[in-house]
Structure 1
Amino acid sequence: MGLLGLLVGLALLVLFAFRGWSVLLLAPFAALVAALFGGEPLLANLTQVFMVHAAGFLAQFFPIFLLGAVFGKLMDDSGAVTSVAAFMAERLGERRVILAVVLAGAAVTYGGVSLFVAFFVIVPMARSLFRAASIPRRLIPAAIVLGTSTFTMSALPGTPSIQNAIPMPFFGTTPFAAPGLGIIGSLIMLVTGLWWLHRAEAAARRAGEGYGDDIEGATERAAADELVRERATTAREFDPAELQHGQRSERPSPVWSAIAPLIVVVIVNLVMSLVVLPRLDVSYLAEQRFGETTLAAVAGVWSVAVALTAAIVTTIVLNRARLPALRRTMDAGANASVLPAFSVASLVGFGAVVASLPAFTIVRDWVLAIEGGPLVSLAVATNILAALTGSASGGLTIALDALGQTYVELAARTGIAPALMHRVAVIGSGTLDILPHNGAVVSLLAICGLTHRDSYFDIVMVGIATSLLALVAVIALGSALGSF
């Protein structure tokens, strides 16, 4: 009965989340259903397991949600994201339209701009470029997914994405874990994704397929759609409803002041991770009032938080004249972080209840028994949970909450570097999460005025197939050569 309850609870969570129900309600309900089938005390599971683990996730990662959303909103309202996208389009020209869209998305998301901010800025630019070049608009979502939701989310070293931050407290790693493998994985995703998109473009030209007809007002309707909002906030770290608040600049930011904050994020993150924090005396962290923790458990989050703070200050200093309502912009950014953070925390609470049930030992033993060793079983676990929840961050946190300590012990026994575990876990979470019910996919298609039938196959090829190729390569190279 316990295993049946686990499956029923998970099925309820997936089914009703896909239908647009709030995860804030669904996750505790599904967790209690699983506990009920297992004959476990309901109130104790709610307050002592679900709430404690959800609160623990917020305690660890809410600073990144908050700072990332504020930074994204500042970059949006100052016109900086628009400037970066326009710069890419101008430099690469009409003959390299797909590359321009991909690199524009990659530049802003690797620099710390929230995904949905990038969506709402890059989609209009992509429409105009694709229309001028007579490339089918059905390829726009795939080009944007490749640039924003693959290598800059999971593989590129130092990326400030929440997915790259989640494994750090578990493995004691930094955002730059396994940099060589991360770069190789990124190149595989980028090159194979571009190959597929150019192949699709060439096939469309041979068939005489042009741009097609836009659906007027699709982007505006998507921004106000509550169903899109509910799905979006479980997928990424920004509530799209807040994009309508604050006040955008009437003139775009100069490109140098638009790019500078993105560079600051990367440089400060690197310096904090590799130079500053390792030299600090943080023996005080062993005190009870600081949680009796270690630098390894907090260094990654500290690095990303400081980097985003520095980028926020840089954005304000360089673009103050183009932020006509600074307080309202920052308030909107702060508000945009709350629903996504609590949604993912609720998924974490659900996973904690499931992991505490005696029946979960069957699942754990099955996962650990998968042939290929700990790296393969970790990749499978993160893939499955990200696929079921439709959330890379949610699936990754559930997997590591339930099995993280086990994998740390396995790594120590088998000599696998924690940095390699980190990189495999993150790339693994960013593959099958892009299934049809994924909030980012649903939102992007709505913003573009397209359907799954129009564009989803190409999204699968650039989002799932390329990431799986990169994951296999990273596991093979990491197993043969170790972490580098």
Structure 2
Amino acid sequence: MIGLIGIILSLILLMYLAYRGYSVIILAPLLALFAVLWSGLSHEVLGFYSQIFMTGLGGYIIKYFPLFLLGAVFGKLMDDSGSAKTIANFFVEKLGHKRAMLSIVLSCAILTYGGVSLFVVGFAVFPIAAALFKELGIPKRLIPAAIVLGALTFTMTALPGTPAIQNAIPMPFFNTDLYAAPGLGILASIFILFSGMWWLNKRVNSAHLNQEGYGQHVESHHYSKELTQSESPSLMIAMTPIFVVIIINLVLTKLILPNLDTAYLATDKFGNTSLSSVVGLWAIICALILACLTIIVLNWKYIANLKDSLQQGVSSSFLPIFNTASEVGYGSVIASLAGFIILRDFLVGLAPNNPLISEAIVINVLAGITGSASGGLSIALNTMGETYMNLAQQFSISPELMHRVASMASGALDSLPHNGAVITIIALCGLTHKQSYYDMFIIAVIIPLIALIGVITLGTMFGSF
């Protein structure tokens, strides 16, 4: 029982100190060893650090570093070539001012579904949204919620095929690919998009009735509607890399890779693995490499300094993966403690006849504690992934359904006020939590939770589809 108290205290401290702005890279090992000490294993502290924490951290980096690296480089190239802004401008121009909110949401959705990171999307779309909202008298405080709806909800966790890391993490645990449970994912995505738009439009109408207007703000970004051909690529050129990611990923996953002779993977040399456990990672890695090459070839004249773009993309990938990997190392230590067995049995027992419910609760809670969808998901599956796979087999639940529920569960309570993406978006827009977070909470927490409940209900009734 003392060990369990140590684990709970460790989790509370992790949440509080991360919210206060301390680096998870420092917090994770210290608080993991804090839990070890509470378990009465002070003589094993160094062993826990070098053999369990660092092994967990290193294993995560080995598995997912290519996705973080290529995703960051792809996003930087899309940004520096002007492609991201071209796509955002297209939706604004075609949908018109009357559908300003929808144009911003769809711009973010297309970019993130194509593999562009949230931070690049935010920097590309915010100046456009600010100018548009100011012209139409829409409150600036709604911009973060619009960006979140397009970039941090259905395109991150629900829409089949999305290259987001939150959709990739469950693959090796359930032997699935990015297209797991496509029907349920599409239904959830439609619900989130339409519900989110309903809420945002309702808030806009309420603001108009109250004659609120855009508000008095000092703008640090400037947006010009005049973008000449020499400054940015055409829409077709801008969209081509996104099509490459989507199409190549699908073709490799469903047609090419399954037909290759991969029997060699079952040998000791290659870790006695199988194609099903790596096909999703292989496909998205190849798709992102080809997409990056496509951007470079098609946008050679638009990228001012290719070397700098590549270097900045590479550099920007390090902090995110080490943050998440540190949380995985933390989870590995916690999972190895005797107190965790009590906690694990309690969590599984929350819904003894339906592991989908237990899985959703565990991942949501851990994502909320860490303030990270990928961090909470990684901790949950690294500590309990095998347990949930065994339960899925026991209750005849499709691994694809387990994958989709796991992915969607990571994208709800993660968006509490201490979430890094939430903080970044609000800061980018020059706003405060008090001004903007209420609408972000509805869009990124409440609506995805309702969608998750719907997926669990449909999956329980009809299975995966």
TM-score per shorter chain, which class?
over 0.9
1:156 aligns with 2:159: yes
1:78 aligns with 2:111: no
Q: How does 1:231-246 map to 2 (within 5 A)?
A: none
Match for 1:411: what amino acid? A
**Which residue number in structure 2 is paired with residue 420 of structure 1?**
401
Match for 1:16: what amino acid? L
**Which residue number in structure 2 is paired with residue 7 of structure 1?**
8
Match for 1:9: what amino acid? S
1:332 aligns with 2:273: no
Aligned mate of 1:293, from 268, 273, 284: 273
- The CA deviation at 1:338 is 0.8
Instruction: Name the SS for the 2:61 alignment partner.
Output: helix
Instruction: Name the SS for the 1:113 alignment partner.
Output: coil
Q: Give distance in 1, aligned partners of 2:318 and 2:201.
A: 39
Instruction: Name the SS for the 1:449 alignment partner.
Output: coil
**Which residue number in structure 1 is paired with residue 435 of structure 2?**
454
Q: How does 1:40-439 map to 2 (within 5 A)?
A: 40=41, 41-217=44-220, 251-371=231-351, 373-439=354-420
- The CA deviation at 1:214 is 2.1
Q: Percent identity?
A: 50
Match for 1:17: what amino acid? A
What number of residue pairs does the alignment pair up?
455
- The CA deviation at 1:326 is 0.6
* TM-score, scaled relative to structure 2: 0.96
Runs of at least 5 residues in structure 1 that lack an aligned partner in the other structure: 220-248
Q: Give distance in 1, aligned partners of 2:134 and 2:333.
A: 50
Q: Give distance in 2, aligned partners of 1:289 and 1:310.
A: 28
Q: Give distance in 2, aligned partners of 1:353 and 1:123.
A: 40
Match for 2:402: what amino acid? M
- The CA deviation at 1:300 is 1.0
Q: Give distance in 2, aligned partners of 1:61 and 1:84.
A: 28
Q: Give distance in 1, aligned partners of 2:267 and 2:74.
A: 33
**Which residue number in structure 2 is paired with residue 479 of structure 1?**
460
Q: Give distance in 2, aligned partners of 1:11 and 1:446.
A: 25
Whether the 8 Å CA contact 1:188–1:469 is kept in 2: the answer is no
Runs of at least 5 residues in structure 2 that lack an aligned partner in the other structure: 223-228
Match for 1:271: what amino acid? V
Q: Give distance in 2, aligned partners of 1:355 and 1:104.
A: 41
Instruction: Name the SS for the 2:414 alignment partner.
Output: coil
C-alpha offsets along residues 179-232 of structure 1, whole Å, 9 cap, x if unaligned? 00000000010000000000001111111110112233389xxxxxxxxxxxxx
Instruction: Name the SS for the 1:359 alignment partner.
Output: helix
C-alpha offsets along residues 405-443 of structure 1, whole Å, 9 cap, x if unaligned? 001111111110000000000000100100000000011
C-alpha offsets along residues 385-404 of structure 1, whole Å, 9 cap, x if unaligned? 00000000000000001110
Match for 1:287: what amino acid? T
* TM-score, scaled relative to structure 1: 0.93
Whether the 8 Å CA contact 1:32–1:46 is kept in 2: the answer is yes
- The CA deviation at 1:313 is 1.1
1:442 aligns with 2:443: no
Whether the 8 Å CA contact 1:24–1:343 is kept in 2: the answer is yes
Q: Give distance in 1, aligned partners of 2:230 and 2:405.
A: 43
**Which residue number in structure 2 is paired with residue 243 of structure 1?**
none
**Which residue number in structure 2 is paired with residue 230 of structure 1?**
none
Aligned mate of 1:463, from 436, 444, 448: 444
Match for 2:439: what amino acid? D
Match for 1:435: what amino acid? L
- The CA deviation at 1:178 is 0.4
Q: Give distance in 1, aligned partners of 2:303 and 2:146.
A: 30
Instruction: Name the SS for the 2:219 alignment partner.
Output: coil
Match for 1:379: what amino acid? A
